[in-house]
């Protein structure tokens, strides 16, 4: 079998270590350590954290996919030279004869040679709920389960050519969740990395010139301070904490979902929850529980006595199928009167009925249970229709008729007795999940469309979809009539939403077609037949009770198999991503003003007014600590595409205003008698912190107790940093005259007013900032 689940651990490690982000931030980190300025190298934590998170996520996904297997049977029973031998699955070869027995999984694609009452369950592979009764010469797929009977089959495909292997191979390929945030942040970092080359040259040259020129700085040792300040200005342009805080916010969402018994396999899947506008679902196991229940029994006029007892015997037959067992939940052994029947004919999908015969007692005679069209096949064609119509069953119901005859049933080859008369009509109904209707209503309110992709009969699928509130035009589309051309399929999916008889390959094609129409598609399923669609959807969601293959490829697993968990899952995703967008705007505003300040001071050949450690404390007050609270704010609106455009409209003007305020204060302090560099740095820290805090105020609205406390704490933190002597010493700050402090505060207040004005003019109030 194929054994390839993507990159090796060495390649995973290399891909996450040797990135542009790590090159820039890690290079600056090492450079400062070499210079002995470890106090200014605190930002190196982000290099380690980002790398560790990336490696852990991808390697965990690789291990999960490596365990993926459609085939779970370790042994096969093969007939060689007339002897039945147990054989390891990997030793089954072309031309082997497989011995088929109930309860076993078919280990290779085969052609049936002979069968005796053989019934094969392909529901996990194809979605077809009813067992199949293959005829000699018919093809059997690997991964199917033998549910009844016995037979022999010749192996025609093994290894990578088998049906199970093809599904396994495609499902095992590692792929990342489609993440607009991750893509956008990666694009920003690439742009910054390209821009850092000219920016870095301008900054380094400017700081060396400010230290007296290259020759003087090198000979006097002033290059050391110039190098540290250059590193400060360069590292400030990189949103080092953004990647880390995004991962933290997603992890918080994953932990919350885990508390609700929802397993998130990849953190970026939480973002996918916020963006979905199309949810594809299977019927069985999602809308329904996959079991039948007896809805009602309607006696036919003039019923024969003892029919309840006969029905109880039929339902409690040890070989009874799932339908008969559903009847047994109502007509149990306690309703079976008299002795056991003299003749029992167990249900088989070959003759599609079961029967018992009593020679005496209250239930004397022959009793047959089956579909009306089978039991009364020899009567006029409209007889069966009249019997079913009398029960007034819907398309989603399954009707059976209990018939009685005074003629005996012949043992051996089953044949219906003569003179059958209808006694009662039994209406069975596939059990709906009790939470299905409310969950569907939730998605309708949230503007998330639903598309039902089922392997069952189209009429049944349509009836169940309509009952839970999914709009159905006439009836479900029979997928056997779907066009093979992707564009024609996409055109059909513009209007149709309910499909029956859908194969696994068609489910995948339909997911891709919906994506081509611009939808962000989530697929929820529980069977092997859903595996390919789960794999190619923007977000795969599996039921915990489903197949191991479905759980392995899905990014999210509903451990309690509860459809009603989905609203909580979607709401959590929307909250997390809305807050990540807030965080991104906070970090990227810093990137904008850092670039402007670096270029401006570099071109003017002025000393850069910050040390790395000073910028670290400003980041902590204006971004780092507040980000932990902003990541938890409530929000339920669906995220929209266009994150970069929205971020640019907010961050560019905000960054320009903040940078302008710092430049204005440093420039005014340089007029006349220039204060010591320590005082200039203090004024720059005060101005930058107060101006940047107003950006935080804009993004924290509407205020809650938590956000108000964070903002107030940030302002108090600035006062503490300036007032506490040991803090000033560590940060190399000096207290300037009160007049200069008042000037810095006044400029910051003007900058805050400008930020407010720009924010309102752009129409990006916080009530609309989350898209």
Catalytic site positions: 282
User: Would you say how long the chain is, in residues?
Assistant: 771
Rg (CA), the chain: 35
Cα separation of 570 and 208, whole Å? 53
Which two structure tokens, joined as six digits, stand for 523? 């697929």
Reply yes or no: is the peptide bond before residue 702 cis, omega within 30 of 0. Answer: yes
Paired sense of beta strands 139-140 and 109-121, if any: antiparallel
d(CA 730, CA 748): 25
8 A C-beta contact, residue 165 and residue 159:
yes
51 CB-near residues (< 8 Å, 6+ apart): 16, 17, 22
Biggest alpha carbon distance in the chain?
121
Secondary structure element (H or E) that encloses residue 20, with its range: helix 20-35
Our measurement of the distance from residue 437's CA atom to the centroid of its chain's CA atoms, rounded to an integer in Å, reads 22
- In this structure, the number of other CB atoms found within 10 A of the CB of residue 80 comes to 10
Return phi, psi of residue 306, to 5°: 85, 5
Residue 449 to residue 46: CA distance in whole angstroms: 40
Strand order in 83-88's β-sheet?
83-88, 75-80, 97-100, 145-157, 109-121, 139-140
Closest C-alpha among 368, 374, 364, 372 to residue 314 = 368
Residue environment code for 251-287, b if the CB has 16+ CB neighbours within 10 A, otherwise e: bbbbebbeeeebbbbbbbbbbbbbbbbbbbbbbbbbb
479 in Cβ contact with 457 (< 8 Å): no
| Beta carbons within 8 Å of 750's beta carbon, 6+ residues apart | 661
As a whole number of angstroms, the distance between CA 234 and CA 241 comes to: 15
């Amino acid at each position: 079998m194929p054994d390839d689940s993507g990159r090796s651990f060495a390649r995973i490690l290399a891909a996450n270590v040797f990135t542009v982000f790590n090159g820039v931030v890690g290079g600056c980190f090492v450079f400062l350590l070499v210079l002995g300025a470890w106090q200014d190298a605190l930002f190196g934590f982000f290099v380690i954290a980002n790398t560790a998170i990336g490696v852990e996520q991808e390697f965990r996904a690789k291990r999960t996919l490596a365990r993926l297997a459609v085939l779970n049977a370790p042994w096969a029973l093969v007939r060689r030279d007339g002897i039945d031998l147990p054989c390891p699955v990997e030793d089954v070869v072309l031309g082997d004869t497989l011995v088929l027995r109930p309860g076993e999984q078919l280990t290779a694609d085969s052609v049936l040679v002979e069968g005796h009452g053989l019934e094969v369950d392909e529901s996990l592979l194809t979605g077809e709920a009813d067992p199949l009764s293959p005829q000699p010469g018919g093809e059997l797929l690997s991964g199917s389960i033998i549910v009844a009977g016995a037979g022999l089959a010749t192996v025609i495909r093994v290894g990578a050519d088998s049906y199970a292997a093809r599904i396994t191979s495609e499902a095992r390929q590692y792929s990342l969740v489609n993440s607009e945030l991750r893509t956008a942040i990666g694009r920003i970092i690439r742009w910054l990395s390209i821009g850092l080359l000219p920016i870095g040259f301008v900054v380094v040259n400017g700081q060396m010139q400010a230290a007296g020129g290259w020759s003087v700085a090198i000979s006097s040792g002033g290059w050391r301070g110039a190098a540290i300040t250059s590193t400060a200005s360069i590292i400030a342009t990189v949103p080092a904490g953004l990647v880390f805080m995004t991962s933290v916010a997603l992890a918080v969402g994953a932990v919350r979902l885990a508390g609700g018994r929802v397993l998130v396999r990849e953190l970026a899947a939480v973002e996918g929850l916020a963006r979905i506008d199309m949810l594809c679902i299977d019927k069985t196991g999602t809308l329904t529980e996959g079991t039948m229940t007896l809805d009602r029994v309607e006696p036919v006029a003039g019923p024969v006595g003892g029919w309840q007892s006969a029905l109880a015997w039929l339902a409690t037959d040890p070989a009874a199928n799932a339908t008969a067992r559903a009847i047994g939940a109502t007509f149990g052994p306690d309703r079976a009167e008299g002795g056991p029947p003299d003749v029992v004919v167990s249900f088989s999908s070959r003759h599609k009925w079961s029967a018992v015969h009593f020679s005496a007692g209250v239930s004397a005679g022959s009793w047959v249970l089956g579909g009306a069209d089978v039991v009364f096949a020899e009567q006029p064609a409209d007889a069966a229709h009249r019997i079913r119509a009398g029960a007034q069953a819907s398309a989603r119901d399954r009707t059976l008729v209990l018939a009685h005859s005074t003629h005996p049933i012949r043992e051996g080859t089953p044949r219906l007795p003569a003179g059958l008369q209808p006694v009662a009509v039994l209406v069975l109904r596939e059990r709906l999940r009790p939470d299905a209707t409310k969950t569907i209503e939730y998605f309708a309110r949230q503007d998330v469309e639903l598309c039902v992709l089922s392997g069952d009969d189209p009429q049944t699928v349509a009836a169940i979809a309509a009952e839970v509130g999914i709009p159905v035009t006439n009836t479900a589309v029979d997928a056997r009539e779907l066009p093979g051309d992707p564009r024609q399929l996409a055109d059909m999916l513009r209007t149709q939403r309910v499909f029956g008889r859908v194969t696994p390959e068609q489910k995948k094609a339909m997911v891709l077609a919906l994506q081509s129409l611009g939808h962000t598609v989530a697929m929820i399923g529980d069977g092997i037949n859903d595996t390919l669609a789960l794999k190619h959807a923007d977000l795969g969601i599996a039921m915990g009770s489903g197949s191991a293959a479905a759980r392995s490829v899905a990014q999210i697993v509903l451990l309690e198999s509860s459809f009603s968990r989905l609203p909580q899952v979607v709401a959590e995703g929307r909250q997390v991503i809305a807050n990540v967008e807030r965080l991104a705007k906070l970090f990227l505003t810093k990137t904008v003003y850092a670039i402007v300040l670096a270029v401006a001071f570099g071109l003017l050949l002025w000393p850069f007014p910050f040390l790395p450690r000073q910028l670290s404390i400003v980041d902590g007050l204006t971004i780092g600590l507040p980000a932990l609270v902003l990541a938890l704010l409530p929000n339920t609106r669906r995220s929209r595409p266009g994150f970069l455009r929205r971020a640019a409209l907010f961050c560019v003007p905000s960054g320009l205003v903040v940078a302008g305020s710092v430049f204005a204060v440093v420039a005014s302090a340089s007029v006349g008698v220039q204060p010591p560099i320590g005082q200039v740095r203090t004024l720059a820290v005060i101005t930058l912190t107060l101006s940047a805090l107003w950006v935080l105020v804009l993004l924290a609205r509407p205020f809650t107790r938590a956000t108000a406390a964070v903002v107030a704490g940030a302002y108090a933190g600035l006062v503490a940093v300036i007032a506490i002597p040991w803090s000033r010493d560590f940060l190399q700050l000096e207290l300037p005259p009160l007049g200069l402090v008042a000037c810095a505060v006044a400029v910051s207040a003007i900058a805050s007013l400008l930020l407010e004005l720009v924010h309102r003019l752009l129409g990006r109030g916080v009530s609309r900032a989350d898209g």
